[in-house]
C-alpha cells in the first residue's frame, strides 16, 4: 500500500506531489510519480506561474502547463492549479512595469480569467492567491497590494470563479501551520470575504517545515480554518534538516514530524488531502533556496524510502 492508498483509506481525496516535467526522463522518478498507489494528485511546481503563462502582456502560453495537465488527465490524477497571483516569479514586464490602479486591476482580472479558463474542468483546486501576508500578519508589500490595496483579492477570486465554477478556489500561504499572527490574519481575511459574498473555498497550508520544529497547534489551527466554512489542504509539505547530513536520530524525528502533520489533517474531516513539494531529495527545491539544508522529502536522492515515508503512512 502506498501514500495515496493510505490517504484514501482514511477518506481523504488524495495524497499528492509537486512535479516538474523536465524530471520525467528519470525513469525511476516517472514510475513512482505515475503510480496511483503513491500519488492521486499533482501540482505543477513552476509552469503555471505568471512568468510562464503570460510572458508578454496579453500573450498567454500554456504549452508547459498543458504537459502537466495532460499527464494528470492520462493518469487519472487530480490537478492543483498553482498559481494565479503571487509576488514571485513574475514576468519582467509586470515586475518592472508601472501601472495605474485601473490598468493593474484589468491585468490581474485578465490573467486569472484566462489561466483558470484554459484549464476549466481539469482542475480540482486553484491557488488563486499565493503568499499574500508577511509573517507578522500584515499585508505583503508587493506590486498588487501597493497598487490595488486589498481589492486584488476579490478581483482575482471572482475572475477565477467565473472562469471555472467547478474549481475550488484557495488562498495558499506558509508559516500558517500553527496558530499565530499570520494564521489569524488569513482567518480574518476568509471571514471578511465570506461576509461580502466573495468566492473562497479553501486555505492551502504549505507546510515547509524544519525537523523538530513543528508547532503544537497544527490540528487546532486547521479546525479554526474549517470552522469558517471552508476546506483546508496541506499543499507543499516538506520537512527539512537545517544541518546535513541527517543522523539516524534526525531521520526518526523527521518520521515523527511527518506523522504528526499528516495525523492533524487526518483528524480534521474538512482537510481534504496532503501534497508534498516533490517526493525525492533528488529534485527538492530546498537546497537551492536554503543553502546547507535539505533531505526534506520522503524518498532520498537514490529513491530509497526514508523513515518519513512510514511516518506518512502511519499518520493516516
Ligand atoms: C518553488 C519551486 O519549487 C522552485 O523550483 C522555484 O525555483 C521557486 O518556487 N512556495 C510556493 C512555491 O508557493 O511556488 C515555491 O516553488 C516554493 C515555496
pLDDT averaged over 10-residue windows placed end to end, the chain, 316 residues = 98 98 98 98 99 98 98 98 98 97 98 99 98 98 98 99 99 98 99 98 99 98 98 99 98 98 98 99 98 98 98 98
Q: Whose CA is nearest to atom 4 of ligand 1?
A: 285
What letter does residue 299 receive in the DSSP assignment? B
Burial of 264 (0-12, 13-18, 19+ CB in 10 A): buried
Angle, to 10 degrees, between the axis of helix 152-163 and the axis of helix 181-195?
60
pLDDT of residue 118: 99
Angle at 226 between CA 223 and CA 230, to 5 degrees: 170
Phi and psi angles of residue 130, each rounded to the nearest 5 degrees, phi first: -120, 125
Q: What does each C-alpha distance from 130 to 9, 84, 153, 219 come to in angstroms? A: 30, 8, 10, 22
What pLDDT does 224 receive?
Answer: 98
The CA distance from 238 to 16, in Å, is 12
- State residue 280's pLDDT score: 99
Residue 224: how many CB atoms within 10 A of its CB?
A: 15
Is 38 tagged catalytic?
A: no
Our mutation pick for probing the ligand 1 site, out of 20, 129, 236, 279, counting the most ligand atoms within 8 A of Cβ, is 236
Nearest C-alpha to atom 2 of ligand 1 is from which residue? 45
Domain 3-315 has CATH 3.40.50.720: no
Question: How far is it, in rounded angstroms, from Cα 33 to Cα 19?
Answer: 8
Nearest by Cα to 183 from 141, 230, 154, 217: 217
The predicted pLDDT at position 285 comes to 98
- pLDDT for 269 equals 98
Question: What ipTM did this prediction achieve?
Answer: 0.99
Task: Please state the domain extents for the chain.
Answer: 3-315
Predicted TM-score (pTM) of the model is 0.98
Amino acid at each position: 500500500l502506498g501514500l495515496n492508498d493510505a490517504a484514501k483509506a482514511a477518506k481523504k481525496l488524495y495524497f499528492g506531489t509537486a512535479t516538474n516535467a523536465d524530471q520525467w526522463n528519470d525513469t525511476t522518478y516517472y514510475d513512482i510519480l505515475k503510480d496511483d498507489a503513491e500519488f492521486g494528485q499533482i501540482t505543477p511546481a513552476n509552469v503555471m506561474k505568471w512568468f510562464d503563462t503570460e510572458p508578454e502582456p496579453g500573450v498567454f502560453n500554456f504549452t508547459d502547463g498543458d504537459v502537466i495537465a495532460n499527464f494528470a488527465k492520462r493518469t487519472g490524477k487530480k490537478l492543483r492549479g498553482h498559481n494565479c497571483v503571487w509576488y514571485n516569479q513574475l514576468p519582467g514586464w509586470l515586475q518592472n512595469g508601472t501601472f495605474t490602479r485601473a490598468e493593474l486591476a484589468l491585468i490581474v482580472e485578465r490573467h486569472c480569467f484566462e489561466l483558470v479558463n484554459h484549464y476549466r474542468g481539469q482542475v480540482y483546486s486553484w491557488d488563486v492567491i499565493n503568499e499574500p501576508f508577511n509573517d507578522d500578519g500584515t499585508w505583503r508589500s508587493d506590486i498588487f497590494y501597493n497598487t490595488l490595496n486589498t481589492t486584488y483579492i476579490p478581483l482575482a477570486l471572482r475572475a477565477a470563479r467565473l472562469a471555472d465554477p467547478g474549481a475550488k478556489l484557495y488562498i495558499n500561504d506558509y508559516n500558517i501551520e500553527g496558530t499565530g499572527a499570520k494564521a489569524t490574519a488569513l482567518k480574518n481575511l476568509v471571514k471578511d470575504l465570506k461576509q461580502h459574498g466573495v468566492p473562497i473555498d479553501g486555505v492551502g497550508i504549505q507546510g515547509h517545515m524544519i525537523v523538530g520544529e513543528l508547532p503544537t497547534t497544527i490540528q487546532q489551527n486547521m479546525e479554526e480554518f474549517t470552522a469558517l466554512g471552508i476546506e483546508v489542504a496541506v499543499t507543499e509539505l516538506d520537512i527539512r534538516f537545517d544541518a546535513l547530513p541527517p543522523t539516524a536520530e534526525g531521520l526518526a524525528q523527521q518520521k515523527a514530524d511527518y506523522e504528526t502533520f499528516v495525523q492533524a489533517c487526518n483528524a480534521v474531516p474538512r482537510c481534504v488531502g496532503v501534497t508534498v513539494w516533490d517526493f525525492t531529495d533528488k529534485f527538492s527545491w530546498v537546497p537551492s533556496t536554503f543553502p546547507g539544508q535539505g533531505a526534506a522529502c520522503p524518498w532520498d536522492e537514490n529513491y530509497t524510502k526514508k523513515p518519513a515515508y512510514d511516518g506518512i503512512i502511519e499518520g493516516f
